[in-house]
Amino acid sequence: GEDVEQSLFLSVREGDSSVINCTYTDSSSTYLYWYKQEPGAGLQLLTYIFSNMDMKQDQRLTVLLNKKDKHLSLRIADTQTGDSAIYFCAEDSSNTGKLIFGQGTTLQVKP
Amino acid sequence: DVKVTQSSRYLVKRTGEKVFLECVQDMDHENMFWYRQDPGLGLRLIYFSYDVKMKEKGDIPEGYSVSREKKERFSLILESASTNQTSMYLCASSWGRQADQPQHFGDGTRLSIL
């Protein structure tokens, strides 16, 4: 079945770059999403990438997609303490409107 | 901006009670979803709905039911609450079934069953 995998935890120093990785299994996914969840809050859409793209950049965020390896990454440049949150990767499920989420990666930013 | 509102941020109920979690969206979205979130497990889909009076089972529907009498409102019902249903519950909505329609989330309800 469809599955999305992420590592659970990443710790970086303020000002460094963060790279959060995700692997997925559904090769028919047309869009892949990154959501951010701050403590005690719901999920906020950060960015998404169409499956025929390799890269998408949006200010400090860069999304890289390797379709062959079914690997997605989110790079945050100049990471700030306000970037501390849980980051979820998600893929659409064969045009059903459903999303399959990974377990979430907790990003800890140390001053 | 899309607004998805969940009626309670925190809720404490007792084992065996019937519990209602309410969710309202203001963008005329067709699709609505209920998830539960547990540490290390990510989001798991409980139920979803593509239109009024329609409902579909997600991955973990046991012990839950839903109601969608109006397009903007999607209710999650715990028929007889149990302690293993203590969790964070998240509601989401989106436009149609096209792949380029991201889901928009409410702030969540943290439910404790004693």
Distance from CA of A104 to the nearest CA of B (A): 6
The percent of residues in chain A predicted with pLDDT above 70, rounded, is 95
Distance from CA of B18 to the nearest CA of A (A): 24
**Do residue A101 and residue B42 have CB atoms under 8 angstroms apart?**
yes
Residue A10, burial from CB neighbour count under 10 angstroms (0-12, 13-18, 19+): middle
Instruction: Encode pLDDT of A24-33 as tens digits.
Output: 987 776 788 9
Joined together, the tokens standing for residue B74 give: 């999607």
| Whole-number pLDDT of residue B97 | 67
B20: enclosing H helix or E strand: strand B19-25
Query: Which segments of chain A are extended strands (E)?
Result: 4-6, 9-13, 18-24, 31-37, 43-50, 55-58, 61-66, 71-76, 85-92, 99-101, 105-110
Per-residue pLDDT reduced to its tens digit, B37-59: 998 888 999 999 999 989 999 99
d(CA B31, CA B102): 11
Answer whether A31 touches B (CB < 8 Å): yes
- Chain A residues closer than 8 Å to B41 by CB: 103
Q: Of A41, A88, A95, which has the smallest distance from its Cβ to B98's Cβ?
A: A95
Query: Is A88 in Cβ contact with B104 (below 8 Å)?
Result: no
Q: pLDDT tens digits, residue range B23-39? A: 999 999 999 999 999 98
By the 8 A CB rule, do A78 and A71 touch?
A: no
* Contact between B56 and A96 (Cβ < 8 Å): no
Q: Does A77 touch chain B (CB under 8 A)?
A: no
d(C-alpha A15, C-alpha A13), whole Å: 6
Q: Does B4 touch chain A (CB under 8 A)?
A: yes
pLDDT in tens, chain A (111 residues): 668 999 899 999 999 999 999 999 877 767 889 999 998 889 999 999 888 888 999 999 999 999 889 999 999 999 999 999 999 999 886 667 788 899 999 999 999
The closest alpha carbon to A99, from A38, A34, A23, belongs to A34
